[in-house]
Structure 1
């Protein structure tokens, strides 16, 4: 079975579990490194970012006093999740990632060719996810405390990222809740944030249909998880001397990571945008040039035999998914 088919099954299971697990009293906590939205009722787990912003909005005396133990346990839980699974959360577990992949499949079924960013364009917008990460830290801190002698920020800025995250209006819809598709006119700050929320939700739907994993390029959770790229138990290894730079891996990559094809002298290939979807391994025609590892042990490796078998299947079917089609084009050049 193709790895993207396996991934789709795992994604669907995780989506159902996270969205509806609470209906049968299942819960895996509120420190998940993935966009399992806090605004979804009956969820089985929720995103790390909402409580994180709530903690940061406390006055220093409370955060480092009565709330310190809870805050440290909460951070430790997140660090453990991120250390063990790393970017697998992005590629295999995230509900918003799953919705984007479904939109991509819908576009492919409709026979519409997707868009790709130019390399320079992708590099130009790398800073956005980190800017959002800084803002979701700084803005809540300024609510309960005076930063650099400035007046405290309005409480309307509590959990600022969650107020504009596309998950807030979109994910509750799967429980029949459309109440977050609103513009809140109760204050200027609320008007701005809820308007941004509607705009970003629209960009999510349109952008994800046109381009694979469009919104992931701007996700602050991806920026946060990138801090664990070199230490996480899950990794992507490259054997440089086996690589022929055919470019299949880059063309199949949903995040258009050119380093996976260009760099031959680097062993650890999980970059800030990588979501460990393993498509690069699946389309690689060179034995063990790319391998997914856990605790240093390979669990899935590229193979010439596997590549040729997949190409034979595609040839019989006559139609290939976008990633495989691009890989075939590159291999024939």
Structure 2
């Protein structure tokens, strides 16, 4: 395991403990917007939301790959499959279906906000799987969804993050063209080892979809030629 992966594991573990055991809430886009829709106030959470948006504009969806507790659990689930079956290539969804499903999370995003407005309730928070772990809005439904997320991720890496997470959809909007981007360079030989290890099923050797990349850097760890870099958009290609 290289240094960047060690740092990421430390970050994921720290934020998982912070969100689940040390706070009474899970930092979520809906925790701010839903409260604003219902009560017209956002409180101190708005500061943390602004920080996350700023990080996303600069680094991309680093929250998803380094901080999100549900993303952390989903990763443990799919890596358990890798360990059990000793797979060298992560399972994938049919490409045509995958390209359509990635937009489903935007539907969940919009639907959650509409339901919050018209039903006058914390629509997504009531079913959020992390809400069950934090005891904030824990319900039977959120527990069922948590189990579903873990099982789905066992078979399809980061399934919830790819296709259903409304926070991921929200952050994707701000990471279409972040200041720092993952790029291939002239060292890339198109061997696709990076794609075999990408849990988000991104066609890295063709075109890196920055808004779908969660900055897990599994691709960089897999690359044997040093053909991937994470650098600012002003850097000239080799």
TM-score above 0.5:
yes
Q: Taking structure 1 as the reference length, what is the TM-score of the superposition?
A: 0.60
Pick closer, same or farther for the CA change 1:7–1:296 going to 2, 3 Å: farther
Pick closer, same or farther for the CA change 1:231–1:53 going to 2, 3 Å: same
1:93-144 superposed Cα distances (whole Å, 9 cap, x missing partner): 1101111122223333333656421212211212210101111222223xxx
Match of 2:229 among 284, 291, 297: 291
1:152-182 superposed Cα distances (whole Å, 9 cap, x missing partner): x333xx221222222222x23xxxx599343
Aligned to 1:127: 103
Instruction: Output the CA distance in 2 between the equivalents of 1:72 and 1:20.
Output: 21
Pick closer, same or farther for the CA change 1:278–1:140 going to 2, 3 Å: same
Unaligned ranges ≥5, structure 1: 23-40, 142-152, 183-193, 264-268, 299-333
The alpha carbon displacement at 1:86 in A equals: 3.0
Pick closer, same or farther for the CA change 1:57–1:17 going to 2, 3 Å: closer
Aligned to 2:70: 96
Instruction: Output the CA distance in 1 between the equivalents of 2:188 and 2:33.
Output: 42
Unaligned ranges ≥5, structure 2: none
Aligned to 1:281: 220
Aligned to 2:27: 46
User: Please, what is the CA RMSD of the aligned residues?
Assistant: 3.2
Instruction: Output the CA distance in 2 between the equivalents of 1:282 and 1:10.
Output: 17
Q: Taking structure 2 as the reference length, what is the TM-score of the superposition?
A: 0.80
Q: How does 1:1-333 map to 2 (within 5 A)?
A: 1-2=1-2, 3-22=4-23, 41=24, 46-58=27-39, 63=40, 67=41, 76-111=50-85, 113=87, 115-141=91-117, 153-155=118-120, 158-169=121-132, 171-172=133-134, 180-182=138-140, 194=141, 197-217=142-162, 218-239=164-185, 241-258=186-203, 260-263=204-207, 269-287=208-226, 289-293=227-231
Task: Judge conservation of contact 1:238–1:290 (CA < 8 Å) in 2.
Answer: yes
| Higher Rg of the two aligned structures | 1
Pick closer, same or farther for the CA change 1:285–1:77 going to 2, 3 Å: closer
The higher-RCO structure (CA 8 Å, 6+ apart) is 2
Aligned length: 232
After the TM superposition, which segments of 4 or more aligned residues of structure 1 sit over 4 Å from their partners? Answer: 67-78, 294-298
